[in-house]
Amino acid sequence: MFRELLPRHIEIIYEINARFLDQVRMRYPMDNKRIASLSLIDESGEKYVRMANLACVGSHGINGVSRLHTRLLEDIVLKDCHEYWPDKIINITNG
pLDDT number for residue 53 = 97
Query: Residue 76: what are its φ and ψ, rounded to 5°?
Result: -130, -65
pLDDT number for residue 95 = 61
Residue-averaged pLDDT of the chain: 94
Q: Is the pLDDT of residue 94 over 90?
A: no
Under a CB-based contact definition with an 8 Å cutoff, are residues 16 and 57 in contact? yes
pLDDT number for residue 37 = 96
Nearest to 14 by CA among 71, 67, 45, 57: 57
Under a CB-based contact definition with an 8 Å cutoff, are residues 25 and 35 in contact? yes
pLDDT digits (tens, 9 = 90+) for 55-76: 999 999 999 999 999 999 999 9
**Gap between the Cα atoms of 66 and 4, Å rounded:** 38
